Amino acid sequence: MLAAAFASWIEKISERAFDAPFLDLLRAQGFYDIHFTHGPYEFGKDFIAKRDEPTPVQYAFQGKAGNIGGPAWMEIFPQLLELASDGPAHSNFDAKLPRRSVLVATGRLTGKATIGPAQLQAQLHKANLGDFEVWDLDVLKELLTGSPRFGVTPVPGLLPVLGHVEAGIPTERVLERELAALIPPASAPLSHVRRAFVDGSLVVARLVDKNLPFLALHAALNGVRIAAARAHTNLVEGGELLRDAFDSYISLGVSLFRPLLDAPEDPKVWLSFVGGPSRLPTYPIACVKVLEFLSLAALHREHHGQASEARALVEVAARAVRSQPGTAHPISDRFAASYPPILTALVRFGQGDLAARLARATAKWVCDRYEASPYGLAGPYANPPEEVRTLLGAPFECINLRERRESLLAVALADASYVLGLPDYDNIINDFLAVGIVPYAIHAEDSSDAYTVSKPGTVALVNIRYPDIRAAAPLPHHTLQALPRVSERAGGPAVPLALACLTRDRLFSDVLPRLRPSST
């Protein structure tokens, strides 16, 4: 099953979309000093890398998508000559080392192209320019599944995850639980962590193939979790991994949500994206999930010095908040973790009034649900059918529902309003009290276990008490983790918030005081 899944993934992937997984594959298989050199001055080399076999060998790679026939081979032949040349694609390219040039093709050589590699190899040997290989679909499958030549194999937990994906439509909760099996042990070498990234990419690709964009993006957050767990072993390695994982998450989100990002003010486009009016409960899910993505991406970009790109992402989010009513209508506590990053990103980029408006509208929606029925909104562990039954089923005696007054959404909105200085903080708190909402959350210790729902090290925070008015003092439950968490120190404050959006039952909102603008 794994070989077939890998083959299907490779055959469908575009040339540039394969770049990030290929880099992780190289790292997993012992390559080092790796550089992405694709561009106008690449000298035919998309990547360069070294590998000890047992002495160092300088590799250069040129990637092509799909099958390569005779005409295509003739077209790329000049590039392959450049690939094998001494051209300095990067200052770290060592022309003095034994050299191996590799054509990486996600398909196969066909027709007259099948004799081309042997002819090129002979030509390079005469010119003393090293060896030439073709890594086609079959070699890439070998690279992915493992072999004596490529010894790092898939994570054992990959097959059960794929089984859940192939058997039907998994839920976010199932994905969070099953993807935890891809996290390497703390003692694992870095190559195994990189390999786990590749395995996660396959799961994401299968979800994309099944047209499940929200679940695909949710699964991509597991890369952030893998990297954050590594930070507890090695902070520097964790930081590098976190940047790679977050960049992949952002690239995927932009690709998946492009129709929505291009039309943030058109509810018809957003309704069409989720399947039309018949899928109405999915519309607010799309609204909140897209805002969650935009805000996490913006906070990550800002932390890494890309303020203009971050501002552009927040501007799209702001336009959606103004135009999409679903942004203030979360259907359950599963979406509580989305609101702290959303409100924070708006405030940090000069949209404080809009953040206040969104917090007010969302708080009103939550209060209305709890005032209208004793069942409130479904909890963070509810599956989609349970969420819909709780949201719509109160008037029907035939639908059995459990009375529920706890609310994680209340904590998310109250925490963000207090820390960010939103003007309606006191009104929001009073409204929650008036309808009998019980603010409830989970505090997780600062350990790698904190990023997995089933792991120990959590404390229930029941009926959280909030100050009547804002003050300079931190919220009492934020003092349980007054210092930055390891994941924040490694990758920035967006990381704990992203991990909250993966687990969905905890907020890591103790990061918010360090995201508060100095003017609030």
Structural domain ending residue among the three candidates 93, 120, 145 = 145
- Reported as a single tens digit per residue, the pLDDT across 280-337 is 789 999 999 999 999 999 999 999 999 999 999 999 999 999 999 999 999 999 999 9
Contact 59, 31 (CB under 8 A): yes
> Does residue 226 fall inside a structural domain?
no
Domain assignment of residue 58, yes or no = yes
Q: How many domains does the chain have?
A: 2
- Is the pLDDT at 260 greater than 70? The verdict is yes
Has residue 130 been placed in a domain? yes
The boundaries of the domain holding residue 292 are: 257-514
Task: Categorize the per-residue pLDDT at 44 as very low, low, confident or very high, splitting at 50, 70 and 90.
Answer: low
- Is residue 159 a part of any domain in this protein? no
- Which pair of structure tokens corresponds to residue 303? 């932390």
CATH code of the domain containing 81 = 3.40.91.30
Among 121, 145, 169, where does a domain finish? Answer: 145
Structure tokens at 516: 């508060």
What is the mean predicted confidence (pLDDT) over 403-414?
Answer: 97
Task: Please provide residue 232's backbone torsions phi and psi, each rounded to the nearest 5 degrees.
Answer: -75, -15
Per-residue pLDDT, 144: 86
- CA dist., res. 215 & res. 172, Å (int): 6
176 is a domain residue: no
CB-count exposure of residue 285 (10 Å: 0-12, 13-18, 19+): buried
Distance set, CA 346 to CA 333, 337, 410, 438, 515 (Å): 21, 15, 19, 27, 11
Phi, psi torsion values for 147, nearest 5 degrees = -165, 175
DSSP per residue, 228-294 = HHHHTT-HHHHHHHHHHHHHHHHHHHHHHTHHHHT-TT-HHHHHHHTTSGGGTTHHHHHHHHHHHHH
Give the predicted TM-score (pTM) of the model: 0.90
Domain final residue pick, 113, 145, 177: 145
Contact 440, 460 (CB under 8 A): yes
Backbone CA torsion sign across 198, 199, 200, 202: positive
Q: Which helix (H) or strand (E) holds 411?
A: helix 408-420
**pLDDT per residue as tens digits for the range 120-165:** 999 999 999 999 999 999 999 888 888 777 778 888 889 899 988 9
| DSSP helix/strand/coil, 109 | strand
Residue 324 burial class via C-beta count within 10 angstroms: exposed 0-12, middle 13-18, buried 19 and up: buried
| Cα(233)–Cα(227) distance, integer angstroms | 10
Residue 373 lies in a domain: yes
Whether residues 327 and 465 fall in one domain: yes
Query: Quick check: bond before 54 cis, omega within 30?
Result: yes
* Residues 269, 140 share a domain: no
Give the pLDDT confidence score for residue 40 in this predicted structure. Answer: 45
252 part of a folded domain = no
Q: What pairs with residue 134 in β-bridges?
A: 103
150 within some domain:
no
- pLDDT one-digit tens code per residue, 77-105: 999 998 988 776 678 899 899 999 999 99
